[in-house]
Chains A and B, each alone.
Chain A
Amino acid sequence: MASTSDTSEIRLERLPPEAIPIVRDSGGSSTGVLLSLPATLLILVVIVFPFAYVAGMSLFDEATGTFVGTTNFRRVLSSTDFLPSVWVSLIWTISNLVIQTVCGLALALFLNQRFRGRDAARTLFLVPFVVPTAVVALMFSWMVNSSFGVINYLIVTSGMSDMPLNFLGDPRYALPTVILINCWRWIPLVALIIFSILQGIPRSEYEAARVEGAGRWATFRFISYPYLGRSMTAIGLLGILLTFNIFDLIWLLTAGGPVGRTMSLPVLIYDFAFGRQDLGAAAAASVLMFLMLLVFTLLYFQRRDFKEDL
């Protein structure tokens, strides 16, 4: 109820609890359940059931159908491939995260400036993302080919190296090459996401900072970063999970080689299932990977800035 003791000011006062009318639920909760049923069913069918099936498969010898308990898990954990693949996955994920965040941020800050052709540039940035993965893999594998690839041609003719480099077949270069190709694909999208966040920052704050004499770094540190930080926490979690799970690009470029240097956990799971035809081991490795990501996600949710955003 508003009181008007002063015509120039209206004060809103809280109503006492007993004055608040009770609104009876006229079946709204059952309607809500019904409305959410299709989505729930979809999740059950597409996510829950397949996962439960795989978890069950991990406890059986797929070829004979006999129950083997934890045998598949023990085989996976004791294999010479599992721990190296976890390590490759960690390097892959962290490297992608760092490079994409830094480069994406730089690109977004650049896009946040007003310049001619900015809108066209923004559209072009989506091109790497919309090109199908298979095309990206084929394109880059030919570009880095040591016999007829354009990149090696430039490297040799410019004198950077006497011999062409075996980017995808040399254990020193394979993982960095695959990481960079993946970054080429995702940096523009990361930049656009950050750019859209930056666009939400009131221009008046930048102008006030400019008037106060703040430099670029101070402007970024005290204006842009606080806005970005909140959104990036949630986006970061999504990015980590999506990047960790990437299989297609790595498989198409190197199939996990050479000598396992790009054999991430998803690639190893595929190799177990369809290379070695060992579905039990593949299922066990899948469950282990799920548990790892689950633990990570739960720990991530404990972050103070994540809790504050909720």
Chain B
Amino acid sequence: MSTSSSEDVRSRMMSRRAVVGAATGGVALALGLRGADAAPFSAPTLLLQEPTEIRFWHQEAVPKRVEVFQKFIDAFNAENTDIRVVQESQGWDTAFSKLVSALTAGNPPDVMLSLPALTMTMQSRGEIIPVDDIVESVNSKYTLVESQLTPFKYQDATWGVPMWGMTFLLHYRTDLLEGAGVADPPATWSEWLDASKKMTGGGKYGIILPANKNLFTTENFYTMMINTGGRIYGPDGKIAFSSPETVEALTFYKDMVKAAAPPDATSLDWGTWEQALLRGIGASTNGFSSWRQAMDETELKDNWSAVAQPAKDGGKPGQIHYPNNFMVFKQAEAKKEAITRFTEFMHQPEINGEWLATMEPTLYLPITEASQKADSFWSHPVIAAHKPMVEKQLEVLPLGQLYGFEDPGAYNPTVGEFEGSGVLGEIVQRMVIEDLSPQEAADFGQTRIEEVLKLQ
């Protein structure tokens, strides 16, 4: 054999050894890993143990809010190296459809930010587990505002952990009110209608009030039903829409829309609502304060103030509210301890305060006594600039009420369909467009709600 042939054979043997060696090493590694899986306490296993992953869904898809979520998730993950929270965001419009798809595929999130109606829908379908232990843990440390818990307690358990609150106030232009010769902001319905009429004119409208088939109108109308004692569901769970109290609310709402709302009230949505305020077209609005930060960048920023929603003369004070909550899916029961730690972390007062203030200042409110005192909340520049308004929101928060949850322990599993269908907005829209009398609208509404909720 020649030298070159010997070298050739050697190189082939070496390359063959390299291949065999690599293959053997690969097999050993695979077996080692498999062994690690089977033997949890072996050294390789301890080195390779994965943290418990929590898939967390929320509907705050605005990029700024996603960033804020990520900041606190990163802080939690750094502090709790055996847990890894991963956020996935989508808009509210697509949340239900995506959730249904995920549940059908057997791949829902572990924990999801929700609202009372969606939480009850998931509970009625057997998809979520009780969270009494988590609520007890948070409550014992930080004391939750009771009105925020009410919508989640039914069927002898608690199904959601409230994380923040949102509530209505009457926001009004101080300069336009003064210009209309009205000395004080309205405190009753009669004062409210009068002031709204006086502020209408010259291309301005006394109140940006919707009459469209959407959740925006549902909220604006239901908040007035609260003051008259009108209800969607009766204590027996049946639809109790057509009543003298509802007629009273419909009468007032129609009068306000006709006298003081823009002509496109029947097509108003949140986007055009905010634009109307920012452009100075609207003199007042009864609602959330999501527009407040954008208003601070306009010339009108110092011309706004807020008071509690005026109550019907001799009626019950109160307004609509939306507690936002965590709900835990049944597939994540084994991760409940990790989810509890994440929830408690987000409820720590200074963390909670900073989280809610930076996400959307003045819109999302802390709902524990401890976090309502957090420096991190009150020191935020926007919160500090609108301190009187935020204090007023916290003051009225205990008076918050929501359709379907009027009675403690109320169980109305169709409330999710009621909310999603926009049927209350549809009733108001039909009343305004077809000029139905309030009684006709109430009777139509009774039948229509029963039809939409398949309760006929």
Chain A residues with a Cβ under 8 A of chain B: 63, 75, 79-80, 138, 141-142, 145-148, 163-164, 166, 168-171, 174, 254-259, 271, 273-279
Contacts and interface: CB of A to CB of B under 8 A. Distances in A.
Contact of B417 (A138, A255, A256, A278): A278
B51 interface: no
Given A255-B213, A277-B417, A163 B264 contact: no
B276 A148 contact: yes
Nearest to A251: B93
23 contacts: A75-B454, A138-B271, A142-B275, A145-B264, A145-B272, A146-B263, A147-B262, A147-B279, A168-B264, A168-B267, A169-B212, A169-B263, A169-B265, A169-B268, A174-B267, A255-B422, A257-B266, A259-B433, A271-B421, A273-B97, A274-B97, A274-B420, A276-B421
A257 B454 contact: no
Contacts of A168: 264, 267
B395 interface: no
Interface string B305-335: 0000000000000000000000000000000
Contact of B121 (A79, A164, A259, A277): A277
Given A146-B263, A148-B279, A275-B421, 7 more contacts: A63-B125, A147-B276, A147-B279, A166-B264, A257-B267, A258-B433, A274-B96
Contacts of B420: 274-277
A276 B266 CA distance: 21
A171 B272 CA distance: 19
B358 interface: no
A255 B214 contact: yes
Contacts of A256: 213
Contacts of A273: 97
Contacts of B275: 142, 145, 147-148
B452 interface: yes
B300 interface: no
B416 interface: yes
B242 interface: no
A258 B426 CA distance: 8
B424 to A, nearest CB: 12
B184 interface: no
Contacts of B212: 169, 257-258
B266 A258 contact: yes
Given A148-B279, A257-B213, A258-B429, A275 B422 contact: yes
B224 interface: no
Nearest to B214: A255
B267 A169 contact: yes
A163 B263 CA distance: 9
Interface string B137-154: 000000000000000000
A141 B272 contact: yes
Contact of B96 (A63, A141, A277): A277
A102 B45 CA distance: 73
B434 interface: yes
Contact of B434 (A147, A174, A259, A271): A259
Contacts of B417: 276-278
Contacts of B264: 145-147, 164, 166, 168-169
Interface string B399-427: 00000000000000000110011100010
B138 to A, nearest CB: 30
Contacts of B266: 166, 169-170, 257-258
A147 B277 CA distance: 11
B452 A276 contact: yes
Contacts, number: 92
Interface in B415-456: 416-417, 420-422, 426, 429-430, 433-434, 451-454
Contacts of B451: 79-80
Nearest to B431: A259
Contacts of A259: 213, 426, 429-430, 433-434
B128 to A, nearest CB: 15
Contact of A258 (B100, B124, B267): B267
Interface string B192-233: 000000000000010000001110000000000000000000
Central interface residue in B267, B416, B420, by most chain A CB within 10 Å = B267
A226 B281 CA distance: 56
A102 to B, nearest CB: 29
A274 B97 CA distance: 6
Contacts of B124: 63
Contacts of A275: 420-422
Nearest to A75: B454
A164 B203 CA distance: 11
Contacts of A164: 263-264
Contacts of A257: 212-213, 266-267, 426, 429
Contacts of B422: 255, 275
A99 to B, nearest CB: 23
Interface in B139-179: none
B212 to A, nearest CB: 7
Interface in B238-271: 262-268, 271
Contacts of A254: 267
A58 B454 CA distance: 16
Central interface residue in B96, B264, B421, B429, by most chain A CB within 10 Å = B264
B239 to A, nearest CB: 15
A65 to B, nearest CB: 10
Contacts of A255: 213-214, 422
B433 A171 contact: yes
Contacts of B271: 138
B100 A279 contact: yes
Contacts of B276: 147-148
B383 to A, nearest CB: 30
Central interface residue in B100, B266, B275, B426, by most chain A CB within 10 Å = B266
Contacts of B121: 277
Nearest to B265: A169
Central interface residue in A80, A142, A145, A271, by most chain B CB within 10 Å = A145
A75 B454 CA distance: 9
A258 to B, nearest CB: 5
A144 to B, nearest CB: 9
Contact of B454 (A138, A147, A163, A278): A278
Q: Nearest 5 A-B pairs (CB), nearest first?
A: A169-B267, A169-B266, A146-B264, A168-B267, A276-B421
A233 B214 CA distance: 41
A141 B273 CA distance: 13
A292 B265 CA distance: 36
Contacts of B214: 255
A75 B421 CA distance: 17
A40 to B, nearest CB: 25
Nearest to B125: A63
Contacts of A79: 451
B211 to A, nearest CB: 8
Contacts of B433: 170-171, 258-259
